[in-house]
Amino acid sequence: MAPVAVATDSTHYLPRALADELGIHQVSLYVGWQGQPEPELEMDGFDAFYKRLGRDPELPITSQPSIGDFLNAWEPLLDSGHDVVSVHLAGGISGTCEAARQAHGLLGERGLSERVEVIDGETACGGTGLLLLAAAAAARAGADKDAVAERVREARRALRIWFCLDTLEYLRRGGRVGKAQAWLGGTLKIKPILSLEYEIVPVERVRTAGRAFERMVAYAQDLHDAGSDGWVVQHIQAGDQAQRLIDRCREIFDSEPLFCSEVGPVIGTYTGPGLIGVGALPRTLLS
């Protein structure tokens, strides 16, 4: 294991085999109906969840990890001699990073807080996944805690990611609409294209799924032209659309995606099925 351990929460949605291969330590968020949340990381596939989400008038409840969950993840790493860089879901849409900071504060009582760096990734899903790839690359190269943390911040400055939703309805119901609030005054029958920084940021509204798809392809071209050549695609119950986007992006980047995966229930509760997203950063940050 690298001298610095990389930790995160469950909302990056890297393919599990890739996260395990890189030795990324995960703390789960929780999601479920009727007061019965379960750890997202323990779910065996997401199809049943999204099927119910589409028909149940009640929205699931999501909750952040407890302070104890973070300590349970970090303490064995510290006890084995590793420093920790822990990268988390944007604070503008979740209290997850704040809970991690509270856990970090408790470590100070034991004189261990200097060995853990908590970072608000100011993104989610594939964006967080890319930050974790950058962190893991630096850690595997032998960088110390401060250098791994700086690599994450450098990657965040370079990161760009867009996602398109089938509808704004789930964001409206879940109250996570962020700066796209103004869009709720009109029809929900649009295809919103959004970005994610500290909170959800509106980019563009289009009328058809076909137009939204072509805007995502055009954005991929913009990423390539700007030198962001390490790219990813994610989706929710939209595997065919994601494959089409991968095929078009292969032509643009002349390379394979760093990963493609499905976004899980904690984020999916607020976006709904039909999401497709593309993001990228320079591959030099992953070396």
Residues 117 and 219 in one domain: no
Q: Are residues 149 and 202 in the same domain?
A: no
Please state, in angstroms and rounded to a whole number, the distance separating the CA atoms of residues 7 and 21. 13
Q: What is the CATH number of the domain that holds 92?
A: 3.40.50.10170
Residues near 141 by beta carbon (within 8 Å), at least 6 away in sequence: none
Q: Which domain holds residue 226?
A: 160-286
Instruction: Name the nearest CA neighbour of 249 among 212, 282, 223, 283.
Output: 223
- Regarding whether 101 and 16 lie in a shared domain, the answer is yes
The DSSP annotation for 90-139 comes to -TTT-SHHHHHHHHHHHHHTTT-GGGEEEEE-S--THHHHHHHHHHHHHH
Q: Are 83 and 143 in the same domain? A: yes
Query: Does one domain contain both 116 and 178?
Result: no
Phi (first) and psi of residue 65, to 5 degrees: -65, 155
Domain final position from 128, 157, 186: 157
Residues 31 and 124 in one domain: yes
To which H or E segment does residue 215 belong?
helix 209-225
CATH code of residue 257: 3.30.1180.10
Q: Are residues 136 and 91 in the same domain?
A: yes
139 shares a domain with 9:
yes
Whose tokens are 């390539």? That residue is 224
The last residue of one of the domains, among 137, 157, 177, is 157
Q: What residue type is 71 in one-letter code?
A: L
Q: Which helix (H) or strand (E) holds 233?
A: strand 230-235
Give the contacts of 33 (CB within 8 A, at least 6 positions apart): 52, 56, 58, 60, 61
Out of 157, 192, 207, pick the residue that ends a domain.
Answer: 157
Q: How many domains does the chain have?
A: 2
112 and 205 together in one domain: no
Distance in angstroms (rounded) separating the CA atoms of residues 18 and 259 = 9
Report, in angstroms and rounded to the nearest whole number, the Rg of the chain calculated over CA atoms: 18
How many CB atoms are located within 10 Å of the residue 129 CB? 28
Instruction: Give pLDDT tens digits along the chain (287 positions).
Output: 579 999 999 999 999 999 999 999 999 999 999 878 899 999 989 999 999 999 999 999 999 999 999 999 999 999 999 999 999 999 998 999 999 999 999 999 899 999 999 999 999 999 999 999 999 999 999 999 999 999 999 999 999 999 999 988 888 876 655 555 555 545 556 889 999 888 888 899 898 999 999 999 999 999 999 999 999 999 999 999 999 999 999 999 999 999 999 999 999 999 999 999 999 999 999 98
- Written as six digits, the tokens of 91 are 């604070």
Same domain (yes/no): 93, 206: no
Residues 33 and 133 both lie in one domain: yes
CA distance 220 to 241: 15
Tokens of 41: 């990381």
Same domain, 185 and 250: yes
Quote the pLDDT of residue 182. 53
**Three-state DSSP class for 254?**
coil
At 270 the pLDDT is: 92
Close Cβ partners of 120 (under 8 Å, ≥ 6 residues apart):
88, 90, 91, 97, 198
Find, among 115, 39, 122, the residue nearest to 80 by Cα. 115
Q: Which residues contact 74 (CB under 8 A, 6 or more apart)?
A: 7, 84, 86, 103, 107, 116
> pTM for this structure?
0.94
Is there a contact between 259 and 110 (Cβ–Cβ < 8 Å)? Answer: no
